[in-house]
Amino acid sequence: MTEADTGPADRGLRRDIGKLGLLFVSCGAIIGSSWLFVPITALQIAGPSAIVSWVIAIALITVIMLTYSELSAMFPVAGGVTRFPQYSHGSFTSYTVGWITWLGVAAVPPIEVLATLQYSSSYIGGLFRQEAGTPVLTTVGIAVAVALMGLYTVVNILGVRWFARINNVMVWWKLTTVAVMAIALLATAFDSDVLTAADTGGFTPFGYGAIFAAVSSGGLVFTLMGARQAVELAAETTRPKVNIPFALIGSILICGAILMALQIAVAGSIPRDVLTSGGWHNLFVNQDIGPLAGLAGALGLVWLVVVIRVDAVVSPLDTGLIYAASAARLSYAQGRNGNAPQWLTLLNKRGVPWTSMLLMFVVGCLFFLPLPSWQQLAAFITTATVLAFGAGPVVMGALRRQLPEQERPFKVAGGDVVPFLALLAASFIVYWAGWSTNMRVFLAVAVGYVVLALHYRFARDRALIPPLQLREGAWIVIWFCGLAAISSLGTYGDGMGVLNGPASAVAIVVLTTVAYWAGQEFRLSTSEVEDNIERQRIVDASTPLVEL
């Protein structure tokens, strides 16, 4: 495949990941530590109707990823989620997307390290101490955590070929473990009556609104968004136009089916006496060995407890490796765009952005402070990631108008229908996360704009900094501000409750329509898009390799 076939491509990055390898990278990111928490967390929020939440989440994420299948096959570049908006709407939009994406992704490796250490602490003493009932890393624990972050960094710096080989083995283990648990529960303890029995609250014990809350706050979207890794590693796969859509959609469908089966199995295996005494809200809250291990232990499946505890080390380790690679590609992409220092674009002889990997290591280690609950972290990362990926549908629609003759190896049918629905899906996911979560994310966006201003003020090489193009970025400000207003007035996550369900739904549809229209109306001209692409080509050609 030539560069002319696909538009801009990264020189220096090596195409070492094959079709199955890319699929497994996305699957490995989906099946991380989250599967150890999500089935119980979703039940605590929505009861048995969490099964419906999975159907909704799979459908919404699939629609969003369809837009990235078209974009990434057309432009197979590293960190595409931040670089695509650069082509169509300029630096302000690209920076906004890149900042919030990087913030969410950079938080994942240290979280996975903490998950590994917390599950290991039952047989490795001295890693944690209790402060006000919260486990906090000891000095020894911090040293071990930093060492694991170092392991992520070293494996990734060795190159994607090593990374892919390690990941392939781990993913087989993880998929098998999840499937074995689902089958074991269905075969030994499943009782369909639990899902609908009146004494347990019925199928929807907390109402229909809880079904949507579980999609975002229950960690379902957080889990499925792991498919995004195929976008970030697009420049390092062998046949982008085939491999990227295959990995994006394939990983969602494969892992979604397995996780939904696990959710059904777990929901129907909760002992009835647990439900009649504590209800769905209080499932295994005080189990120190982990929610799913606690369930297996309560059912007498000792062998399954052992398997889960082993996987509780393997799954977070693998996902941490994947997200470490993704975080480095994002900061690398920001440097390529001119929105971050150019030293972040340095590649080693294996084609790995090693300086960006080191930045990921340093920032990741700073996260080793007392953290909130897994559910709160998952909700924050969900909103941040979905806000960033919400740009894809608008970019897809704009590029179809800006570059109508560009070859699209994977083209989504239906004109503006799919991209509009994808933006609408992103809007609802953010709204369902609730105001208490969204408020923190939008504050983080504001901090990012301060960082952007400092970069533009103090950057050394002004020639590498593109114009902000604020007019073309107006749509994302409209979308963010509108979502913040609707979320604060809504009924989810400590919202004021001014907008009820139907009213908030109408408001979101109207906002999405306005934002999508603005994104198409105030896009860059064709010549400006071509200039942005050419600027990327020049930077690509000049990126130095530093051998390590």
Provide the residue-wise pLDDT of the chain in tens; the chain has 548 residues.
344 344 555 555 566 678 888 898 899 889 877 888 899 989 999 999 999 999 999 999 999 999 999 999 998 887 788 889 989 999 899 889 988 888 888 888 887 887 778 767 767 778 877 776 556 778 888 888 889 889 888 877 776 566 666 777 888 888 899 999 999 999 999 999 999 988 888 999 999 999 999 999 888 998 999 898 888 778 778 888 889 999 999 999 999 999 999 999 999 999 888 888 778 988 875 445 568 888 888 899 999 988 988 888 788 877 787 788 778 877 887 777 677 777 788 888 777 788 888 888 888 887 776 444 456 667 788 889 899 999 999 999 999 999 999 999 999 999 999 999 999 999 999 999 999 989 989 998 999 889 888 877 776 666 667 778 899 999 999 999 999 999 999 999 889 999 988 999 999 999 999 999 999 999 999 999 998 887 776 665 555 544 44
* 12 in any annotated domain: no
Give the contacts of 292 (CB within 8 A, at least 6 positions apart): 36, 37, 39, 40, 181, 266, 308
| Helices and strands (H, E) in the chain, number of each type | 24, 2
Reported as a single tens digit per residue, the pLDDT across 500-513 is: 889 999 999 999 99
Give the contacts of 260 (CB within 8 A, at least 6 positions apart): 51, 54, 55, 58
Neighbours of 196 (CB within 10 A): 12
Number of structural domains in the chain: 1
Token output for 72 = 């990434």
pLDDT, position 132: 62
* 365 in any annotated domain: no
Using CB atoms within 10 Å of the CB of residue 427, give its burial: 0 to 12 exposed, 13 to 18 middle, 19+ buried. buried
Spatial separation of the C-alpha atoms in residues 408 and 385, rounded to whole Å: 25
Token output for 317 = 């380790």
Spatial separation of the C-alpha atoms in residues 142 and 375, rounded to whole Å: 22
pLDDT, position 212: 94
Q: Are 274 and 48 spatial neighbours (Cβ–Cβ below 8 Å)?
A: no
pLDDT, position 272: 87
* 363 in any annotated domain: no
Stated pTM of the model:
0.85
100, 452, 457, 468 from 446: Cα distances, Å: 10, 10, 17, 16
pLDDT, position 547: 45
Give long-range contacts, CB 8 A cutoff, 24+ apart: 196-204. Answer: 196/48, 197/272, 199/272, 199/275, 199/276, 200/47, 200/272, 200/275, 200/276, 200/279, 200/280, 201/47, 201/275, 201/279, 201/280, 202/47, 203/47, 203/48, 203/49, 204/46, 204/47, 204/48, 204/49
CATH of the domain at 84: 1.20.1740.10
- Side-chain-side CA neighbours of residue 281 (13 Å): 5
Q: Which residue range(s) make up the domain with 94?
A: 20-328+370-542
HEC string for 317-364: HHHHHHHHHHHHHHHHHHHHHCCCCHHHHCECCCCCCHHHHHHHHHHH
* 498 in any annotated domain: yes
* 340 in any annotated domain: no
Residue 32 DSSP class:
S
Give the contacts of 316 (CB within 8 A, at least 6 positions apart): 32, 33, 112, 113, 115, 116, 119
Spatial separation of the C-alpha atoms in residues 379 and 220, rounded to whole Å: 10
Helix (H) or strand (E) holding 103: helix 91-106
* 345 in any annotated domain: no
92, 384, 391, 423 from 61: Cα distances, Å: 25, 14, 14, 11
Cα first-last separation, the chain: 29
* 203 in any annotated domain: yes
